[in-house]
């Protein structure tokens, strides 16, 4: 159950958090598909462009191409998959984006599913939390310029990056459930959550992040939450839009388990019903642009530092034009709420 929101608390949350970003939600085949999203953020003058793991055009190369086209906006991966690259290469890729774009970069990392791990590595991580902790520890040391001598259960190396001037790289971890949140609190700069109910973030994930940070004396990671959005329009079937945008994740046990923990009845054997439940619970955020902006403030009140708008449903069902109209209308409503 979500905590009640006081007017004073809500005003404080809005005043202290002004990051509203965009997730480009599909694997692109051409840089022109992503360019309008980067240009929108560039005109706006704030917000980060996030892209998940792309197995068509590589995520980091997309960011580099945008930088070469003059799109210099903060960027972040949400998330790239650890089995695809050694943490040394991950550090090189992340720092390259920060250097080429001239802006800070969030290198969001995730372990992928056991099946994906098995297909690339020959066996799944027996201890995925250990694997990710090692990965981030090695990557952080390299980015900091250290000579890293590390011998772990999954990752080992003795190396140092060549020196290069670049903007700051923050390391993010994909976080859905409390055990990963606790580990992220101990080692990460950013916790990247996806499709997570607002109350679940505040009541479950944030305490776990804080506990993990306390273990190592680090600052609690900031939270970037990817939120499905679609403006309610007379000719738009919102349930169809939600099914198109969220259906793939709703077939995965780790996502549906997280949702059930957060009070949303979703099961991998019935993704359509899960998408309907997302709409009913307000996790797939819809309504007028002003109603959407108000709901985004609820996420901020529950401790989210950066809202990442995910227009996957509209992009998949109606195309680029409708998607850009939605994003512009939502941004305008967000600005109205801030005066």
Cβ-based neighbours of 332, under 8 Å, separated by 6 or more? 289
Q: How many angstroms from the chain centroid is the CA of residue 91?
A: 18
Which tokens sit at 194? Answer: 């996806």
Least confident range of 15-24, 116-125, 300-309: 15-24
Helix (H, G, I), strand (E, B) or coil at 164: coil
Q: How many angstroms from the chain centroid is the CA of residue 258?
A: 15
Residue-wise pLDDT for 42-93, tens only, equals: 999 999 999 999 999 999 999 999 999 999 999 999 999 999 999 999 999 9
Helix (H, G, I), strand (E, B) or coil at 69: coil
- C-alpha 328/C-alpha 156 separation (Å) is 46
Residue-wise pLDDT for 179-229, tens only, equals: 999 999 999 999 999 999 999 999 999 999 999 999 999 999 999 999 999
Residue-wise pLDDT for 106-134, tens only, equals: 999 999 999 999 999 999 999 999 999 99
Strands 156-159 and 148-151 come out as antiparallel
- C-alpha 108/C-alpha 309 separation (Å) is 16
Residue-wise pLDDT for 225-254, tens only, equals: 999 999 999 999 999 999 999 999 999 999
Residue-wise pLDDT for 305-338, tens only, equals: 999 999 999 999 999 999 999 999 999 999 999 8
Q: What residues pair up with 173 in beta bridges, in sequence order?
A: 109, 191
- C-alpha 310/C-alpha 20 separation (Å) is 11
- Kindly provide the b/e burial profile for residues 325-335, where b requires at least 16 CB atoms within 10 angstroms of the residue's own CB: ebbebbbebbe
- Kindly provide the b/e burial profile for residues 236-257, where b requires at least 16 CB atoms within 10 angstroms of the residue's own CB: bebbebbbbbbbebbbeebbbe
Domains of the chain with bracketed CATH: 7-337 (3.20.20.30)
């Amino acid at each position: 159950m979500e905590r009640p929101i006081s007017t004073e608390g809500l005003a404080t949350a809005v005043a202290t958090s002004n990051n509203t970003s965009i997730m480009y939600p599909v694997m692109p085949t051409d840089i022109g598909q992503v360019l309008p999203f980067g240009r929108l953020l560039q005109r706006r003058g704030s917000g980060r462009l996030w892209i998940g793991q792309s197995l068509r055009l590589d995520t980091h190369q997309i960011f580099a191409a945008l930088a070469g086209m003059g799109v210099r906006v903060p960027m972040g991966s949400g998330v790239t998959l650890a089995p695809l690259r050694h943490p040394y290469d991950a550090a090189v890729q992340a720092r390259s984006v920060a250097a080429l774009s001239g802006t800070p970069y969030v290198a969001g990392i995730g372990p992928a599913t056991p099946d994906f791990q098995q297909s690339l590595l020959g066996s799944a991580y027996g201890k995925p939390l250990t694997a990710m902790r090692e990965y981030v520890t090695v990557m952080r040391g390299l980015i900091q310029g250290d000579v890293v001598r590390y011998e772990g259960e999954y990752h080992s190396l003795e190396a140092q990056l060549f020196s290069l001037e670049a903007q700051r790289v923050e390391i993010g971890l994909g976080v859905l459930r409390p055990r990963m949140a606790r580990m992220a609190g101990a080692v990460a700069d950013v916790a990247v959550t996806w499709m997570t109910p607002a109350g679940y973030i505040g009541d479950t994930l944030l305490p776990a992040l804080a506990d993990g940070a306390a273990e190592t004396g680090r600052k609690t990671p900031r939270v970037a939450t990817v939120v499905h959005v679609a403006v309610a329009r007379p000719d738009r079937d919102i349930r169809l839009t939600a099914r198109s945008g969220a259906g793939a994740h709703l077939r995965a046990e780790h996502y549906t388990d997280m949702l059930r923990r957060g009070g949303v009845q979703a099961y991998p054997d019935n993704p359509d019903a899960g998408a309907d439940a997302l709409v009913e619970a307000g996790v797939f955020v819809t309504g007028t642009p002003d109603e959407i902006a108000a709901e985004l403030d609820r996420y901020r009140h529950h401790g989210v530092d950066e809202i990442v708008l995910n227009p996957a449903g509209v992009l998949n069902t109606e195309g680029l034009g409708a998607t850009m109209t939605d994003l512009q209308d939502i941004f305008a409503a967000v600005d109205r709420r801030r005066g």
